Amino acid sequence: MYHSRLLTWSRNVYIFGLVLALVFIIPVAWFPFQLAKVAVFGLCLLVSAGLFTLGGGLRMFSNTSKGTKTALLVAALPLVYLVSWYFSASPSVGLSGFSVEADTIVFITLASLAFVLSFALFRSTSSARILLAGVVGVAAVVALFQYIVIVFGTSALPLAAFADRSVNLVGKWNDLGLLVGLGLLLLLVWVEFVEMPFIRRVYAGVVALLLVLLLAIVQFSLVWLLLLGSCLLLSVWSFLSKPARPSGQGHSGGPSKTASTKSAVPWLPLAGAAVAGLLLLWGSILGGGIASVFPVSSLEVRPSFSSTIDVVKASHGASLQKFFVGTGPNTFGQNWLLNKPKGVNQSQFWNLDFNVGFSTFMTALVSVGVLGVLAWLVPLALVLLGALRVARTALFSAKEKVLGLSLCLAGVYLWCVIFLYVPSENIVLLAFVLAGAAFGFSLRHPQVTHDDVPVAPTRAARLRFGVIAAVSLLLILSVSATVARRALAEAYTNQGLAALAQQNADQALASAARAQSIEVTGNDLLLATAAGTRKLQQMAASTAAPSKEQQTAFTEQLKATIASVERYIVMNPQDYRGYLLLANIYNFLTSLGVQDAYDTAGQKYKTATQYNPMNPEIPLVQARLEVTNKNNKDAEKYVMQALTLKPDYTDAILFVVQLNVANKDLVGATRAAQAAVQSAPGVPSIWFELGLLYYTQGDMQNALSALEQAIKIEPNYANAKYFLGLSYAAQGRTQDAIRQFIDLQKTNPDNSEVASILQNLEQGKKPFDNAQPPVSTAPQKRTTAPISQ
């Protein structure tokens, strides 16, 4: 028995969940942005599936749906992920990851279930129309929101947690462009193929123009490329599907005396293709002009296609198993660190631990192998199969064909995004939803019976329906509960990270404990370790002669901190961060004179190096460990390893200068640097080191010459500009110093130290007047560079 009202509610809840997945946001710093969106969608999916089952939808779905078995081929995706997970060396990462990433079993299962339910729900023309209208409506809403933010700034909205105009409701800046581009594409389809009054066409044209302008601001070339290809397809579709018009017939529809016919030229999609092509080629000029009026700062980087292919080859090697099922779900990050191209260390993104490759599809090639990427092709194949059926089946009316092909075109658009980019999880969910709806709508003809009432099921059939319903609901319940629990735990973890950034270790530890009471995850264990280490440092610095109670508290905190990081290592045995954090704890204990701490720290640093051999930070902290242990010779060896991995590593260069000061060998070090610049005059990092040596000795005149040469070779050398500005200030050349720090502030708008120095210089004060810790008046003595680069 079917309950149409329950089925309608099921569809509405499903669409409501999809809308929330795209726009749901809480404007606070601790909000787990994408994870919360996925969690809300999962809960709505659970409610929708329950209503669908209670309404008899599962029985109708099983009895009357031809193509159901074909739709269930999407189950190959979670099955392949499950097989790959079984062979993975990092099962906890593959199951749900740190934040239920798109390459995990939990997310893939949720997306596949969304596909199947969408396949069942959106068969009618009304439901398909509502779904598409919802997508266009969401695109319009996020565009309106973005215009408000761009024109009036974030102060116009209650979004204090966000700093600039690139904040949006969807996710990343490019995700906004993808969704707006999809909305524009569907709008073009409707204007071209749907009969509507002239005033509606005017409204649609205004909306389309605003969407194009926003896309020009976003300036994501992939969107223009996809719109170009889609508009060309629309042109062909329009030319072939629209009937020929009598050449003498006017737009009013009145017949003329001539009887010849004339093919309708698809001017609108051709114009769309022309605009997309022009903006693909020269849109950066327009976008740059708009950005100069309404500045938007957004930077997104990912590995190149060639780098991703290199990682695929290196991680799979000659293993047949890895070729077929990969290295395990969500393990791209581990493989990237082990096989990172050497040239990456010479870029400004050297310290980014990429967890994804060139695209979602290419990431899957590393993690789940050839079988995995074939499974990723299944939804796209079903969309194309559905498009073919809609186009070739005479039972579809003209309006139905517009709806069906709109769904298919939207599905192809988003799956091309998955193959060529790394969209956020909510965009991936939208791709699965539209793909399922497209294939389901393509099977709406023919019906089994005219009244849609199936034959009374047998007892075996009822049992089969019951088992399918129970398993499906349990699976959705499990996945949805996992995502919701993780989102809640991540919210507390983010609160703790915010507290830790304010030096509040106690609050951070409390937040980590609350997060762990909900679910023990890698992120809350990392928070507990970082906060515990900060607490230990504070306790050690609080008094010179600790009482017995303080010693006991220190010991208990130390045990708890080590227990947290060791548990993290058990959960993530191939993640270098756990070993590095544990080594840093023992490094700290070495400075306190704790027995055997030095040996343990050295062992853990070596293990961290095994899992991240290209990271120059690890040999640098090993060098600091050797200095703590009064072994400067080995310290020199390790710092040279760091500089070999990254010759312009400013932290290491600072350490070299500090080591020379400790060894009382600044003169010898300066001579060596002078010889180095003579033999390699085109290397800016050597000039920077020479300038820093002069600066440390107070020889500002020679420091100026060396630092100016470093900037001449590399104009964006931020730390060279920093010390050059200080050298100018020391020489009384205040205006020259101000110019350097103005340049630095443009490229480092969030650096409070640069802003403070610039303000002091403009007011005629010394650079470090009223400086507050951790800023010191002797930046050459710090362990980290003043400016991150």
Taking the C-alpha atoms of residue 496 and residue 769, their distance in angstroms, rounded to an integer, is 32
pTM of the model: 0.89
| Segments in 153-220 forming alpha helices (H) | 173-193, 198-218
Q: Give 783 or 304, the one with higher predicted confidence.
A: 304
The mean pLDDT value of the chain amounts to 88
- pLDDT at 452 (0 to 100): 45
pLDDT digits (tens, 9 = 90+) for 525-550: 999 999 999 999 999 887 667 788 88
- Residue pair 98/523 in contact by the 8 Å Cβ criterion: yes
Taking the C-alpha atoms of residue 441 and residue 436, their distance in angstroms, rounded to an integer, is 8
- pLDDT at 256 (0 to 100): 45
Q: What whole-number percentage of the chain has pLDDT above 90?
A: 63
Cα distances (angstroms) measured from residue 61 to each of 13, 120, 454: 18, 6, 11
For the segment 643-648, the average pLDDT, to the nearest whole number, is 91
- Residue pair 434/414 in contact by the 8 Å Cβ criterion: yes
Count of H-run helices and E-run strands, the chain: 33, 2
Cα distances (angstroms) measured from residue 280 to each of 146, 216, 267, 358, 497: 21, 10, 20, 20, 40
- Residue pair 256/250 in contact by the 8 Å Cβ criterion: yes
- pLDDT at 473 (0 to 100): 86
For the segment 59-75, the average pLDDT, to the nearest whole number, is 75
Taking the C-alpha atoms of residue 358 and residue 308, their distance in angstroms, rounded to an integer, is 6
Which DSSP category does 345 fall into? G
Q: Give 290 or 185, the one with higher predicted confidence.
A: 185
- pLDDT at 451 (0 to 100): 44
pLDDT digits (tens, 9 = 90+) for 745-768: 988 888 889 999 999 999 999 999
Contacts of 18-22 with CB under 8 Å at 24 or more apart are: 18/44, 18/134, 18/429, 18/430, 18/433, 19/134, 19/138, 20/44, 21/426, 21/429, 21/430, 22/138, 22/142, 22/169, 22/170, 22/179, 22/426, 22/430
CB 388: neighbour CB atoms within 10 A? 12
Q: What is the band of 257 on the pLDDT scale with cuts at 50, 70, 90?
A: very low
Q: What is the band of 464 on the pLDDT scale with cuts at 50, 70, 90?
A: low
* Secondary structure (3-state) at 108: helix
- pLDDT at 155 (0 to 100): 65
Largest CA distance in the chain: 109
Token pair for residue 400?
């139905």
Comparing 60-74, 195-209, 759-773, the range with the smallest average pLDDT is 60-74
Token pair for residue 591?
């400075």
Amino acid symbol at 747: T
Q: What is the band of 2 on the pLDDT scale with cuts at 50, 70, 90?
A: low
- Residue pair 507/499 in contact by the 8 Å Cβ criterion: yes
- pLDDT at 450 (0 to 100): 43
- Residue pair 511/499 in contact by the 8 Å Cβ criterion: yes
- Residue pair 437/117 in contact by the 8 Å Cβ criterion: no
Inform me whether the pLDDT recorded for 254 exceeds 70.
Answer: no
pLDDT digits (tens, 9 = 90+) for 88-120: 988 989 999 999 999 999 999 999 999 999 999
The residue count for the chain:
789
For the segment 49-64, the average pLDDT, to the nearest whole number, is 76
